[in-house]
Structure 1
Amino acid sequence: MMKPVRSNSPLTPEEFQRQLSDFVRQHFQSRAAQQPETQPADTGDESGARSGADRFQFNYKPRDIKAFLDRFVIRQDEAKKVLSVALCDHYHHVRLALEGKETPHYAKQNVILIGPTGVGKTFLIRSAAELIGVPFVKADATKFSETGYVGGDVEDMVRDLLRLADNDITRAQYGIIYIDEIDKIAAASTASGRDVSGRGVQTNLLKLMEETEVPARSPNDIAGQIQAMMDMTQRGRKAPSTINTKHILFIVSGAFDGLEKIVRKRLREAAIGFAAKEQPLETPEEVLNAAQTQDFIEFGFEPEFIGRLPVRVVCHALNTDDLYMILKNSEGSIIRQYEQDFAAYGIEVLFSDEGLRRIAERASEEKTGARGLMTVCERVFRDIKFELPSTAVKRFVVTPELVDNPVAELAKMLADPNLEEKAVARQVVEEFARRFREAHGIEIRFTEAATERLVAEAIEKKQSVRDLCATRFKDFQFGLKLIVQNSGQKSFVIDRDTVEAPDRVLSDWVVASYRRSDHPDKQPDN
């Protein structure tokens, strides 16, 4: 008996897919038929929509969302306002749709963010998604191709939403997809092969942004197909197979280098055409705010594609002051990470205002926005994080000198750990005075002698300066408020005598304030 002749030519993807499907069907579907019928969990569309409506509660107002974003993202006020309104409009509509009260012919408010790198675009979207409680996927537009063979398939983003939603189809269908570097797929008229990841990708994204059904399993994902078949054999029922993109919010962003030039050219020609004096637009942000649909089309976007992005926002570049505020006030500040890193070794790191300012100045020189903060911090703390965990140093202060010359300052720490302990203590005293002012509206200033006395006593008693100040001056908030009421004095100097006998000095001040209230023309002693 002759054996069948095997062809040496490799299988095409379609032939391999067909043979694998036949194999799975023969070996797994028969098992499913033999298993006793069980009552599976109800995963039908109707109950899914009902459970989705029960789970998804959206009652935010635009001010609520902006207030939340203000905690994490510095500046970008206009972007936060516009984004907050767009999110509220979209998710109020989603809530109504889940309740069966969908508005017909609703125009989805997909968003385009324009701005340089490192201004907080990604952080804005991720923070908003966390607040709302929806799955969030970020992708890079340059990674996609028209066919999916050269690069990724745009539909993979939708399947990623499903994965992040723990395979909950209903929840995935109102997630957020954020695509960065969208300006890189503007279809230029060149022979560089750009169109593979340009016009074709725009067309595929357009389908997603409108409304389409995306297979929950990629046709090219063999493992996914086998998993789907296994799930069917275990549950006795096929899971929902497609994801509808109607209520998925799409947000895209990019730097759009060259768009400013296009807008300026149009504005200049319009001014000449109407024989009017051109209104000067000083900053790049002002020019980009004037961008219209025709400018994006000239930039390289298809009219249908840019038309599906009606909400357009310009983010501003960050200056040194902005970077300083990010370090000091943002809840997502990178210094929190470094505090945790050192705390893992039992080391306390304190950042002086001057040190934060110097980090911001160095980061501004990097020209990469907030990303420059990480670059500078990594450079500053590289050797310190390596050396200090193996030494007796348990505290140190980040000063301008440390930022400028970390190697030399590290050598000083290692040579004399007590020197750094004193520097930390001084920083704590300054911090105590600042917090006292913020809490009570009264300024207290420690003299050099007073600070030295507090530091020496803390080291002698092996007590933290923070605890020593809290104990030593526990009654000052009450006594000083009496003085303010009696005399209006709001600034006080803490000298060495006050540190050594705080109760006596405070009592003398209060008595003197009553005397001054009886003789208002008398000048205060302190």
Structure 2
Amino acid sequence: MTEHLNRLTPRQIVFELDQYIIGQNDAKRNVAIALRNRWRRMNSPEDIQKEIIPNNILMIGATGVGKTEIARRLAKIADAPFVKVEASKFTEVGYVGRDVESMVRDLVEQAVGMVRTQKKEEVKIKAEQAVEDIILDALIPPIHGSGKVRSENVSVNDNTVPEDDGELNQRTRERFREKIRSGELDSRKIEIEVQQNQAPNVGMIGGAVDDVSMMNIQEMIGNMMPRRGKKRKVTVGEAKKMLLDEEASKLIDMDEVKSEAIQRAENLGIIFIDEIDKVASSRSGGGSGPDVSREGVQRDLLPIVEGSAVNTKHGVINTDHILFVAAGAFHVAKPSDLIPELQGRFPIRVELNSLTESDFYQILKTPKNALTKQYEAMMQSEGVELEFEDGALREIARIAFEVNSEVENIGARRLQTVMSLLLNDFMFDIPDKIGADSHIIVTADLVSEKLSHLIKNRDLSQYIL
């Protein structure tokens, strides 16, 4: 579990984040240190490991400046389970809003999915062989009560293979196995048996039942009921996809998966709590109204962030070493409006900068997943080449920055709106009016022509942009 982290030095982590996120160097440095500290803790002497707690981070910045993207990319770099929740969800139906512990259970589910996928990849070759055997049995059914196989109706290279001894039949099966692997038989129809999950949806009458108990009840009833197979007629290609997951699942030990997943969630898990400022209550206000609900959510969050045991359907998970990253714009509330105990659990404060016109230009040009590259790829799928001149990128950046300044600042998300308005006519005309092998060049003049009237008409831009 620590081998991958060993290769990720703080500088390497920042370098990886730079491939997708422009600016915000202070935030990148802090999350890089927090991630490296996990490896340092796990490689410390055992008697001190449990005492080293993560330095949870509070990110302060306007929407669209990269708070969520930094946390999400950090999780991908570390190959760590990641969950994003919005703190305001916990107050939607008053004080008894969504169960705060649900974010920890979601993290465990993420970890189980990651470990299961990894284990299935390890047994993929064996699973593929098992799938081939099932398909071969469907193509060349065994003779009842005999070790031989029936091959009267089987043709290889359009020649009928007569029923012969076991050695010849075995050679026939191997020839068919090669054809299955090469995809020659993918369009051929066969009948296979697919396992169906018989677990019912269970509802409870009477007192409230918590989520964990309900999940356990459903799983228990599902395990008690026999699994039934359903005959389906599909192509060989479809059968390979349908059966591979089923056969791989038979080869992995789910108890081992759950145990490893809980360890991964405990030691590598990252929970991103967005809109934390929405549950900050005014310290000068009274003790009534929405402030009660908000402070109640903070007090529910506190034990989880401090470190506690949470029951999940896969087992008990301790949250002591999960990394919590909270974020908020804090336009109205201030970090000091959070209850002191919760403030103390987010010792690292990082203020993210608002994006400049130059930042917008770099966001359009530099990241691996830049919007310009996404549009180029989509048009390339239609055989159309799209090219952006440098002046066009600067003009798009200028317009996006100007709209953010005058209408509402939504950060880098504004670029999506501007790019959509700029290119929608082209996207609509492809491939009917603009055919394959066409070459579209986006110039600064084209950008001005398409978008300048929206900037000038402020009332219109408030609705459209």
TM-score bracket, shorter-length normalisation: 0.5 to 0.7
Deviation for aligned residue 1:89:
1.6
**Counterpart residue type for residue 109 of structure 1:** N
Whether 1:301 aligns to 2:338 is yes
**Which residue in 2 is equivalent to 1:381?**
423
Q: Per the alignment, do residues 214 and 83 of structure 1 end up closer, same or farther by CA in structure 2, a change over 3 Å counting?
A: same
Preserved CA contact (<8 Å) 2:60 2:351: yes
Whether 1:90 aligns to 2:38 is yes
**Which residue in 2 is equivalent to 1:398?**
442
- With normalisation by structure 2, the TM-score equals 0.59
**Which residue in 1 is equivalent to 2:97?**
151
Q: Per the alignment, do residues 59 and 388 of structure 1 end up closer, same or farther by CA in structure 2, a change over 3 Å counting?
A: closer
Identity %: 39
**Counterpart residue type for residue 184 of structure 1:** K
**Counterpart residue type for residue 114 of structure 1:** I
Q: Which runs of 5+ in 2 are unaligned?
A: 114-257, 453-465
Secondary structure of 1:252 counterpart: strand
Q: Per the alignment, do residues 114 and 397 of structure 1 end up closer, same or farther by CA in structure 2, a change over 3 Å counting?
A: same
Q: Flag the structure with higher helix content.
A: 1
Q: Per the alignment, do residues 67 and 246 of structure 1 end up closer, same or farther by CA in structure 2, a change over 3 Å counting?
A: same
Match of 1:170 among 263, 270, 275: 263
Deviations 1:445-484 (A, max 9, x none): xxxxxxxxxxxxxxxxxxxxxxxxxxxxxxxxxxxxxxxx
Q: Which runs of 5+ in 1 are unaligned?
A: 1-51, 218-239, 260-294, 409-526
Preserved CA contact (<8 Å) 2:4 2:78: no
Deviation for aligned residue 1:198:
1.1
Preserved CA contact (<8 Å) 2:279 2:294: yes
Greater shift, 59-68 or 306-315, is seen at: 59-68
Match of 1:103 among 34, 49, 53: 49
Report runs of 4+ in structure 1 exceeding 6 Å deviation. 146-149
Secondary structure of 2:424 counterpart: helix
**Which residue in 1 is equivalent to 2:323?**
249
Deviations 1:220-257 (A, max 9, x none): xxxxxxxxxxxxxxxxxxxx421111111000011111
CA distance in 2: counterparts of 1:392 and 1:331, whole angstroms: 27
**Which residue in 1 is equivalent to 2:24?**
76
**Which residue in 2 is equivalent to 1:61?**
9
Aligned residues: 295
| Structure 2 counterparts to residues 334-413 of structure 1, below 5 A | 334-364=371-401, 365-366=403-404, 367-393=409-435, 394-406=438-450
Q: Per the alignment, do residues 296 and 72 of structure 1 end up closer, same or farther by CA in structure 2, a change over 3 Å counting?
A: same
**Counterpart residue type for residue 108 of structure 2:** L
- With normalisation by structure 1, the TM-score equals 0.52
CA distance in 2: counterparts of 1:241 and 1:347, whole angstroms: 52
CA distance in 2: counterparts of 1:181 and 1:370, whole angstroms: 18
Deviation for aligned residue 1:104:
4.5
**Counterpart residue type for residue 320 of structure 1:** E
Q: Flag the structure with higher strand content.
A: 2
CA distance in 1: counterparts of 2:318 and 2:439, whole angstroms: 55
Deviation for aligned residue 1:71:
1.4
CA distance in 2: counterparts of 1:148 and 1:91, whole angstroms: 40
Deviation for aligned residue 1:389:
1.8
Q: CA RMSD in A?
A: 2.5
Preserved CA contact (<8 Å) 1:206 1:305: yes
CA distance in 2: counterparts of 1:395 and 1:384, whole angstroms: 11
Deviation for aligned residue 1:149:
7.5
Secondary structure of 2:431 counterpart: helix
CA distance in 1: counterparts of 2:448 and 2:56, whole angstroms: 44
Preserved CA contact (<8 Å) 2:21 2:363: yes
Deviation for aligned residue 1:335:
1.3
